[in-house]
């Protein structure tokens, strides 16, 4: 019972809490660096979710080797490889966004001397 | 993010947004196949594992592929199981199914993904563009061990990166991890010597040429097989190094591009520049 | 299913030249702007060829895998028309950039601008729900960086805000895509559209809400458009023009492709849950957007900020037109979308020329502009009249069509008439205020503004197009009507053209 529950729910609960925590950080924090960290947490949550929907308890890895059989009795037994390949794409896109956000953060710190969103707003007025 | 909203209001708003998300996801999760009920046999990726999309297109005529209770495997369609190091001339000869999806079946996504990374790095370079600052900030000088160690480690890391992206169609890994490994070696060089200055023009042209190579491989497919990013090489025997047609070629291009790109990005971020608008 | 694989060049050629622009940068920085211009010019020519030679509807197969298994581009009436509009407006803005962008890292700017246009075209062309995410990110990442370009520091704040909102939006979109994948096991838009009834209702509702909230960011709909004023004000004027003229087209297209084709049904339009269907949700959001956008634009002192809020409100009108759901309504929506892109990008370019010649951005600074530059004043007036829907200007016909559609549909959709009238009155107030400032006389003698050839060409062409559409609306109208058919007739207009053997389940 407990094992069943864990197998069915644990990854989804974990990914959902990551997304929720990240969203909360992005919406409430005032520091630009923390906002970027929040964005990264949201991204990790999404990636975990995508891997989790590909998984099932008796999954084998989706790679043909001498000992690894992806088909048993005419049924596919691997983990679903499609979400895994999408995760690869999502990770790279997340990396690019983070790099760009950090570069904008560097420029903001150079020009305003602060990373606090409130102080930046005041400086603009 | 507005500065004039009160703290409490903002927190309540954030909590309610998170709560909506949690409730919605909870409702969605109940109806989602989980654990034992996840069935790869009903998904399109099953055909990628079988590496038999062409046969599946014949199933389309009867429309059975789209029915809800799709059979796991049809008995009336001839099928021979794939055996490692024996089966030859498949649609896609990559032993790693994830690779065959990333590069072959959904290769257009990967081209876009490479572009996103390229654009992000271009954006970073455009933002941090400027003359190198004259008076440098004080940094601690790395020790001799660091200097010698990173130089020795660099060649090994570089070789390992190349190994990863050349074997992308056989083992876990591929162009992106391989390129990142190479870039981490170059990051080591930056850490090992203060003011380490790579060949900028070389990095730029290397990156540009490998990107062009990717698109040209796609265009060769367009003009020889009449479809953009189509596999135009024989696929060989599953599990051999020389197999899977153009998958290895594309992964080599991606690996070199990602390595050069990330190294250039590290370089841009480390160098302290002073912008000029005149 | 007709196949026209060479249309993949619409994506491949911009990518090839984007990758090679750094090499051209070794020769000369200014050369790279010309490379970007010619590449967008190739796209414009090719897409016009597809549109005028009637090569559509057709499928472009990627990697030799037929549609439900591999990826494909679908060029229907909508894609052929909107890609032409996107690349033509992009071409004009690229001509403007020859004059405007001279400092900073011009090489990288050209790369990013080229890929911004190509990414927006890709969003319109693609037939795969995950590939749409990739093109959203291509458009998004290039626009964050482009917004941050420029010597003014307020650009950075706008860019960062846009980045945060947009990347949260695309993450939500991705979650929605994966939720649908768990049910149907496919990512092809046509297949999902045909099999949407095989999903369970609760999950589909939540996935739909996630998809809409992700796409509403770029379509500038109400709760997700907080980035609009800061980003448009902070960016260089050419980029503001590109965001409102090109980015908005792609955003609105993607939103309604998902709502009407993927989550919709033939006849009943959208998946319903209780009594509230997703199209009604979009209609409510659109109404809120119009009201908030117009009222905020009314109180602005800064012209760019005013144009930004006006752009938001116009996107609301477009969405309201689409959400009527009938063929005439979608026709009005597309027509309004194109008219808005043309007029708004022209207004931003004019502001760019004025700011470049030392004029301020406040409304008072426009006083007596008629004496200083009759050409720019006339063009601004034409644009303003088109925005507020003055008869015999382009905007009139589209607003007229939306009103006609809401009368025809009847029921509670009658409120759209009130919405349009409200929007037009408020727009008349704030646009005519500027126009009166322009034509009022000042005692101080100020030197005339010289307009260079490269910004003058796009402004002149756009103004002529606005007047031409106003006099002869069928020119754009016939294409809009064909496009509307693709949106409202989901199976015959879209799904069966991509996968002929599929039947609705």
- B172-217 pLDDT, tens digit per residue, is 888 889 999 999 998 888 888 777 788 888 888 888 999 999 999 9
Question: Across the interface, do C178 and A83 touch by the CB < 8 Å criterion?
Answer: yes
Between CA C207 and CA C201 the distance in angstroms is 10
Region A112-124: what's the mean pLDDT? 84
- For residue A57, which residues of chain B lie inside 8 Å, CB to CB? 35-36
Q: Which of C333, C158, C167, C339 is nearest to C239 (CA)?
A: C158
Where do the DSSP E strands lie in B168-272?
none
Q: Does B232 touch chain C (CB under 8 A)?
A: no
pLDDT at C451: 82
- The mean pLDDT of A101-123, rounded to a whole number, is 87
Residue ranges covered by each domain of chain C? 149-498
| Residue A17 to residue C44: CA distance in whole angstroms | 46
Contacts of C159 in chain A (CB under 8 A): 104
Q: Using CB atoms, list chains with 3+ pairs below 8 Å to chain A.
A: B, C
DSSP secondary structure code for residue B79 in this structure: -
Percent of chain C with pLDDT over 70: 96
- Helices marked H in C257-365 — which ranges? 278-298, 303-324, 327-356
Helices first, then strands: H and E counts in chain A = 4, 2
Test C171 with A107 for CB contact under 8 angstroms.
no
Check residue B70 and give its pLDDT.
64
- Rounded to 5 degrees, what angle do the CA atoms C46, C52, C58 make? 75
Query: Considering only alpha carbons, which residue of chain C is nearest residue A23?
Result: C168
Answer whether C209 touches B (CB < 8 Å).
Answer: yes
Q: How far does the CA of residue C141 sit from the closest CA of chain A (Å)?
A: 7
pLDDT band of B1, cuts 50, 70, 90: very low
Phi first, then psi, for residue A71 (nearest 5°) are -120, 130
Contact yes or no for C186 and B33 at CB 8 A: no
Residue pLDDT, tens place only, C322-335: 888 888 888 999 99
Nearest CA in chain A to C130: A86
State pLDDT tens for residues A43-95. Answer: 999 999 998 888 888 888 888 888 888 777 777 788 888 999 999 999 999 99
Instruction: Please tell me whether the peptide bond between B83 and the residue prior to it is cis, using omega within 30 degrees of 0.
Output: no
Q: How far is A10 from chain C (nearest CA, A)?
A: 17
Length of chain B: 278
* Measured CA angle at B116 (ends B111, B120), to 5 deg: 150
CA distance C83 to C135: 14
Q: Do A82 and B44 touch (CB under 8 A)?
A: yes
A26: nearest CB among C153, C159, C168: C168
Phi–psi pair at C462, nearest 5 degrees: -65, -40
Instruction: Return d(Cα C254, Cα C215) in angstroms, integer.
Output: 7
Q: How many CB atoms lie within 10 A of CB B137?
A: 6
Query: pLDDT at residue C67 above 90?
Result: no
Least confident of B15-29, B75-89, C136-150, C467-481: B75-89
Antiparallel, parallel or unpaired: β A71-72 and C276-277: unpaired
Binary contact (A46, C175; C-beta < 8 A): yes
Beta pairing partners, C60? C73
Q: Residue-wise over B100-114: b if at least 16 C-beta within 10 A, else e?
A: bbbbbbbbbbbbbbb
* B47 or C505, which is more confident: B47
Predicted pLDDT of residue C271: 52
ipTM greater than cut 0.85: yes
A42 against B90, higher pLDDT: A42
Q: Give CA–CA dist B159/B182, Å, rounded.
A: 8
Q: How confident is the model at residue A35 (pLDDT cuts 50, 70, 90)?
A: very high
Q: Cα dihedral angle (C129, C133, C134, C135), rounded to 10 degrees?
A: 90
Dihedral over Cα of C207, C208, C211, C212: its sign: negative
Judged by CB atoms closer than 8 Å, whether chains meet at A9 and B34 is answered as: yes
Domains and CATH numbers, chain A: 2-124 (1.10.287.3510)
C141 → chain A, closest CA residue: A97
DSSP class per residue in C65-119: --TTTS-EEEE-HHHHHHHHHHHHHHHHHHHHHHHH--SS-HHHHHHHHHHHHHH
Q: What is the pLDDT of residues C416-452, one digit of tens each?
A: 888 888 888 888 888 888 888 888 877 666 778 888 8
Q: Do A53 and C182 touch (CB under 8 A)?
A: yes
Chain C hits for A100, Cβ within 8 Å: 141, 144-145, 163
Q: How crowded is residue B68: how many other Cβ atoms within 10 Å of its Cβ? A: 11
By CB neighbour count within 10 A (0-12 exposed, 13-18 middle, 19+ buried), where does C174 fall?
buried
* Neighbour subunits, B (≥3 Cβ pairs < 8 A): A, C
Q: Please write the tens of the pLDDT for every residue from C242-284.
A: 999 899 999 999 999 988 888 876 555 555 555 667 888 888 8
User: In sequence order, what are the residues at sequence separation of 6 or more whose Cβ sits closer than 8 angstroms to the Cβ of residue C272?
Assistant: none
Among candidates B25, B31, B127 on the partner chain, residue whose Cβ is nearest the Cβ of C145: B127
Q: What is the tens place of the pLDDT at every residue in B86-103? A: 887 878 888 888 888 888
d(CA C315, CA C305): 15
- From CA C216, how far away is CA C454, in angstroms rounded? 34
Question: How many angstroms separate the CA of residue B156 from the nearest CA in chain A?
Answer: 24
Q: How far apart are CA C127 and CA C74, in angstroms?
A: 5
β-strand pairing of C272-273 with C72-75 = unpaired
pLDDT of residue C42: 94
In this structure, what DSSP letter does residue B90 have? -
Using a 10 angstrom Cβ sphere, with 0-12 exposed, 13-18 middle and 19 or more buried, the burial of residue A36 is: buried
Residues of B in contact with C130 (CB under 8 A): 106, 109
Name subunits touching C (3+ CB pairs < 8 A): A, B
A20 to chain B, closest Cα gap in Å:
5
- How far apart CA B47 and CA C30 sit, in angstroms, is 49
Contact status of C461 with chain A (Cβ, < 8 Å)? no
Residue whose pair of structure tokens reads 């089966």 in the numeric block: B87
At C34, list the tokens. 């010309």
Rg over alpha carbons for chain A, rounded to the nearest Å, is 20
- pLDDT (0 to 100) of residue B75: 59
Q: Is the dihedral of CA C271, C277, C283, C284 positive or negative?
A: negative
- DSSP class per residue in A53-81: TT--TT-B-SB--SS--SEETTEE-BPPH
Classify B244 in phi/psi space as left (phi over 0), alpha (psi -120 to 50) or beta: left
Query: With an 8 Å Cβ cutoff, are A54 and B38 in contact?
Result: yes
| B120: chain C residues, CB-CB within 8 Å | 141, 145
Please judge whether A42 and C171 are an interchain contact, meaning their C-beta atoms are less than 8 angstroms apart. Answer: yes
Residue range A12-34: mean pLDDT, rounded: 90
Q: Is C62 helix (H, G, I), strand (E, B) or coil?
A: strand
- C257-286 residues touching B, CB cutoff 8 A: none
The average pLDDT across C374-381 equals: 89
Interval B150-172: pLDDT, tens: 889 999 999 999 999 888 888 88
What mean pLDDT is predicted for residues C276-304?
Answer: 87
Residue A45's pLDDT is what?
Answer: 93
Q: What single DSSP character describes residue B137?
A: P
* Phi and psi at residue A76, to the nearest 5°: -80, 130
pLDDT at C131: 93
Nearest to A104 among C154, C160, C181 (CB): C160
Decide: C431 and C388 in contact? Cβ < 8 Å.
yes
Say if the Cβ atoms of C154 and A124 lie within 8 Å: yes
Domain ranges of chain B: 1-32, 40-79, 97-274
**Based on C-alpha coordinates, what's the Rg of chain B?**
25
pLDDT tens figures, C109-163: 999 999 999 999 999 999 899 999 999 999 999 999 999 988 888 888 889 999 9
| pLDDT score for B137 | 66
The whole-angstrom distance between residue A38's C-alpha and the CA centroid of its chain comes to 11
Task: Name every chain A residue with its beta carbon within 8 A of the beta carbon of C141.
Answer: 93, 96-97, 100
Query: pLDDT averaged over chain C?
Result: 87
Dist CA B70 CA A74 (whole Å): 14
CB of B152 within 8 Å of a chain C CB? The answer is: no
- Would you say residue B266 has pLDDT above 90? no
Confidence tier at C223 by pLDDT (50, 70, 90): confident
Q: Please tell me the distance in Å from C93's CA to the nearest CA on chain A.
A: 24
Task: Please state, rounded to an integer, the average pLDDT across all residues of chain B.
Answer: 83
Contact residues, chain B, for A107 at CB < 8 Å:
127-128
**Best interface-test mutation with C: which of B65, B119, B230, B257 has the largest number of C CBs within 10 A?**
B119
* Rounded Cα–Cα distance for residues A11 and C465 (Å): 55
- Helix (H) and strand (E) counts for chain B? 9, 2
Inter-residue contact C432 to C298 (CB < 8 Å): no
Which residues lie closer than 8 Å to B251 by C-beta, 6 or more apart?
B99, B103, B165, B166, B168, B169, B174, B175, B178
Does the beta carbon of A109 lie under 8 angstroms from any beta carbon of chain B?
no
């Amino acid at each position: 019972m407990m094992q069943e529950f864990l197998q069915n729910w644990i990854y989804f609960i974990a990914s959902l809490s990551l997304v929720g925590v990240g969203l909360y950080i992005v919406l409430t924090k005032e520091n630009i660096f923390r906002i970027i960290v929040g964005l990264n947490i949201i991204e990790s949550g999404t990636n975990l979710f995508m891997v989790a929907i590909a998984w099932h308890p008796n999954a084998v890895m989706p790679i043909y080797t001498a000992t690894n059989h992806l088909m048993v009795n005419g049924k596919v037994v691997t983990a679903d490889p499609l979400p895994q390949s999408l995760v690869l794409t999502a990770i790279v896109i997340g990396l690019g966004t983070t790099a760009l956000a950090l570069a904008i953060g560097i420029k903001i710190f150079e020009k305003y001397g602060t990373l606090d969103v409130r102080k930046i707003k005041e400086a603009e007025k | 993010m507005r500065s004039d909203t009160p703290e409490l209001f903002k927190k309540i708003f954030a909590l309610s947004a998170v709560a909506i998300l949690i409730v919605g996801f909870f409702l969605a999760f109940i109806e989602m196949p989980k654990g034992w009920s996840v069935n790869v046999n009903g998904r399109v990726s099953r055909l990628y594992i079988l590496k038999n999309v062409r046969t599946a297109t014949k199933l389309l005529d009867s429309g059975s592929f789209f029915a809800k209770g799709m059979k796991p495997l049809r008995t009336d369609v001839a099928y021979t199981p794939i055996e490692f190091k024996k089966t030859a001339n498949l649609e896609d000869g990559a032993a790693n199914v994830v690779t065959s999806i990333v590069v072959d079946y959904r290769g257009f996504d990967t081209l876009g993904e490479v572009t996103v990374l390229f654009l992000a790095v271009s954006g970073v370079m455009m933002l941090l563009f400027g003359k190198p600052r004259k008076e440098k900030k004080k940094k601690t000088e790395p020790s001799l061990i660091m200097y010698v160690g990173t130089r020795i480690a660099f060649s090994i890391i570089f070789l390992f990166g190349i190994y990863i992206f050349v074997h992308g169609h056989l083992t876990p890994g591929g162009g992106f991890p391989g390129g990142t490994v190479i870039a981490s070696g170059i990051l080591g060089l930056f850490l090992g010597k203060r003011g380490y200055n790579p060949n900028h023009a070389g990095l730029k042209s290397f990156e540009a040429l490998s990107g062009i190579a990717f698109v040209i491989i796609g265009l060769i497919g367009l003009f020889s097989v009449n479809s953009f990013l189509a596999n135009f090489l024989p696929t060989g025997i599953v599990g051999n190094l020389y197999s899977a047609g153009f998958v290895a070629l594309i992964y080599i291009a991606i690996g070199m591009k990602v390595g050069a790109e990330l190294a250039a990005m590290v370089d841009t971020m480390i160098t302290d520049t002073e912008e000029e608008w005149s | 299913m007709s196949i026209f694989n060479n249309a993949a060049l619409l994506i491949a050629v911009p990518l090839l030249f984007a990758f090679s622009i750094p090499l051209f940068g070794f020769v000369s920085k200014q050369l790279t702007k010309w490379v970007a211009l010619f590449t967008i010019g190739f796209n414009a020519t090719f897409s016009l060829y597809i549109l005028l030679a009637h090569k559509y509807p057709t499928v472009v197969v990627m990697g030799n895998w037929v549609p439900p298994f591999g990826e494909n581009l679908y060029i229907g009436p909508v894609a052929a028309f909107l890609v032409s509009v996107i690349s033509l407006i992009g071409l004009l803005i690229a001509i403007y950039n020859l004059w405007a962008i001279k400092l900073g890292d011009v090489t990288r700017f050209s790369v990013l601008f080229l890929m911004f246009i190509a990414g927006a075209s890709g969003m319109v062309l693609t037939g795969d729900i995950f590939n749409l995410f990739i093109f959203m990110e291509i458009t998004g990442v290039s626009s964050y960086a482009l917004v941050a370009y420029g010597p003014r520091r307020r650009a950075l704040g706008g860019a960062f805000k846009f980045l945060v909102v947009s990347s949260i939006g695309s993450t939500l979109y991705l979650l929605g895509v994966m939720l649908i994948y768990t049910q149907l096991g496919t990512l092809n838009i046509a297949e999902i559209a045909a099999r949407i009834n095989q999903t369970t209702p609760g999950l589909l509702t939540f996935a739909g809400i996630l998809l809409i909230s992700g796409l509403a960011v770029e379509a500038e709909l109400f709760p997700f458009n907080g980035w609009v004023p800061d980003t448009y004000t902070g960016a260089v004027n050419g980029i503001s023009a590109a965001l409102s003229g090109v980015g908005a087209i792609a955003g609105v297209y993607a939103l309604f492709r998902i709502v009407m084709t993927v989550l919709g049904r033939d006849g009943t339009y959208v998946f319903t849950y209780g009594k509230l269907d997703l199209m009604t949700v979009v209609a409510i959001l659109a109404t809120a957007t119009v009201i908030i956008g117009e009222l905020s634009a009314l109180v602005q002192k800064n012209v760019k900020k005013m144009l930004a809020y006006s752009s938001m409100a116009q996107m609301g009108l477009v969405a309201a037109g689409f959400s009527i759901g009938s063929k005439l309504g979608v026709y009005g929506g597309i027509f309004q979308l194109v008219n808005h892109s043309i007029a708004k990008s022209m207004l931003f370019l004019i502001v760019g020329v004025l700011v470049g010649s030392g004029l301020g951005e406040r409304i008072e600074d426009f006083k007596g502009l008629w004496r200083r530059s009759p050409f720019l004043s006339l063009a601004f007036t034409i644009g303003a009249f088109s925005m507020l829907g003055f008869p015999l200007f382009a905007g009139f016909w589209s607003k007229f069509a939306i009103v006609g559609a809401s009368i025809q549909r009847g029921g509670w959709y009658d409120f759209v008439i009130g919405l349009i009238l409200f929007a037009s009155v408020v727009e008349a107030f704030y646009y005519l205020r500027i126009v009166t400032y322009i034509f009022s006389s000042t005692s101080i003698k100020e030197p005339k503004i010289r307009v260079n050839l490269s910004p003058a060409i796009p402004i002149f062409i756009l103004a002529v197009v606005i007047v031409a559409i106003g006099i002869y609306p069928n020119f754009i109208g016939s294409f809009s009507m064909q496009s509307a058919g693709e949106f409202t007739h989901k199976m015959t207009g879209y799904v069966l053209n991509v996968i002929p053997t599929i039947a609705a389940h």
